[in-house]
Structure 1
């Protein structure tokens, strides 16, 4: 992948142990920061990105030139403001925007890891980012925040480091991946691996890209990020650049054309093997599993304040999942608040223009900063 500028990165000073039993030898973590760290470090906010996100949370993306993926939430005058906060966002391990992943050179061969890269978990992603915090000399955080897979990381962070953040904001997320979500991911993975240009994962060495498979994977996933009401309002059954049906298999409908565009544009910025690894990490996620199946035990001893947010049109991570987390937090004696917001946009609502979400995050962070 060609980038307009080098990623800012840091090679960790220590090896990183993984849940699978393997170790990454001093992996590289790519990251971006905004704002100035206060002398006491108390204004630091760590943002975790979602499946197809990266460290470019509020600055233009070096591949696409588009605004940062959360520019509506992060930036001057926004709830997460570099004038008040020191903002850190890192590309997860297994990713493809500068952090150690399947496209990185294997230290023993110099060839891309491909499928020799170890299978990772959400806990491994968090472990790497905590190691980054340590390397940067950042101690206790004001907050950790994320939506979707980013919310999973925020919850994992709170469970593994109960005193390291004053606040945790988890949006449109869950404490475990459901069977339905695993099923959607498997469709995407199989589409990638069925593409002859995947070459058993060695496509980079072969000079190919499994474009068709990765595009289909993105199309299938993108449907889950939307709502039926949103799709109907935006596209309905309207035809694409024609006045009559073609009686063929071209994109007759606007929604078909939209999905094809989403698929092909995704291929230009994302690595197919990273998609396999990150979706598998999400599938493995079950925060209660290592606590005897009791989610409340994962949050015992935490001193953080929690804010959970769901959206009424999100069927990928429905409100019931957030309520389950809140119930566990209350059972663990944690301070937790919860709100379900109305939005027609489905799961992607946390990335779009939902003023109520901005007001909620802003109010919650200011309350934590004020100690109230």
Structure 2
């Protein structure tokens, strides 16, 4: 019998040792998770589990960041589905990461190994097996979560009936690696980074993390949206057009980006930011699989691809590439929004329609195949 945590409660689960694909062992890994809705069906076959993957600085609280999409009667209807979300390994929201205790009693810090998207998925697969769940109805997520969902279809195709891959590519482009490497550099050049061993010293690379967030946030939002909101307007009470440049005299958009940086510093660990950003740089489904198109064609998991028309970080042509090459395309959807990459987190009405369509199509696929356990959702 599957035993899940109380609904909505962040719960740590020890899943045992894990060895990264690069060969480093992480002993006694803990993965934190939350769930909403009751489990129904066969733990080894057809059931109602939806594994929802968070983005880079997201967390397990899907009911918060997809608040209009999770709950009774909503697209991810918790009267019908069992929604499960983990905090990724390397993160800082309850799962083992750089800020976690090392077996020697100190903090992992700089000793925490590099993590790939494939490692994230392998850990999650191990987590589900510890829970007693060997199959899910669907894996879905956006951005880094979309990369995880895509890797699920390639690494463990027998463990899921469908996938929804949102706002991501088949591999990191040189531009993405460049912009993400700049963010990592901003943190590592902060003197308070201390080589990654800043935990417990009373000093942390807050300035570097805030700078990284400012860079990143410009790729998360659309150029049109940012310009319409701020244009060349000065921040209230400040004058960026004075006779001398001053960091205290800002345009309104600078103040907005400063605010985004402060917000992230208050809730996220710089070590986790570096580890997880690096994992996005390592994303490449074609590596070791004969190249991108051969790898994508090899999966037979019914997969829906979703993109955003104004996405700067993962341009829509990258989702078009996925849709042309995945072995079993369930559907393709475009979010039309000035918001850019973050539209999958803000355009709830469009996402509602997309997710309902995805679940209708994936349920029909299971029914057509008569399923493994004959479970009817």
Give the TM-score taking structure 1 as reference length.
Answer: 0.91
1:260 maps to 258
Q: Quote how far apart the aligned CAs of 1:324 are.
A: 1.3
Q: Secondary structure at the match of 1:347?
A: coil
Q: Distance in 2 between matches of 1:25 and 1:320?
A: 40
Q: Quote how far apart the aligned CAs of 1:6 are.
A: 8.9
2:123 maps to 128
1:311 maps to 308
Does the CA contact (< 8 Å) of 1:72 and 1:351 recur in 2?
no
Does the CA contact (< 8 Å) of 2:139 and 2:160 recur in 1?
yes
Q: Distance in 2 between matches of 1:252 and 1:95?
A: 33
Are positions 1:249 and 2:254 aligned together?
no
* Cα pair distance change 1:245/1:102, threshold 3 Å: closer
What are the superposed Cα offsets for residues 171-196 of structure 1, whole Å, 9 maximum, x if unpaired? 11111111111111111111111111
1:73 maps to 69
Are positions 1:343 and 2:337 aligned together?
yes
Q: Quote how far apart the aligned CAs of 1:236 are.
A: 1.4
Q: Secondary structure at the match of 1:155?
A: helix
Does the CA contact (< 8 Å) of 1:32 and 1:90 recur in 2?
yes
Give the TM-score taking structure 2 as reference length.
Answer: 0.90
Are positions 1:20 and 2:27 aligned together?
no
Does the CA contact (< 8 Å) of 2:304 and 2:330 recur in 1?
yes
Q: Distance in 2 between matches of 1:335 and 1:313?
A: 23
Structure 2: gaps (5+ residues): 1-7, 369-377
1:285 maps to 283
* Cα pair distance change 1:251/1:45, threshold 3 Å: farther
Q: Quote how far apart the aligned CAs of 1:328 are.
A: 1.6
Q: How does 1:32-181 map to 2 (within 5 A)?
A: 32-41=34-43, 42-58=47-63, 68-107=64-103, 109-181=104-176
* Cα pair distance change 1:10/1:243, threshold 3 Å: closer
Q: Distance in 1 between matches of 2:279 and 2:172?
A: 10
* Cα pair distance change 1:104/1:229, threshold 3 Å: same
Does the CA contact (< 8 Å) of 2:330 and 2:361 recur in 1?
no
Match of 2:12 among 3, 9, 14: 9
* Cα pair distance change 1:214/1:243, threshold 3 Å: closer
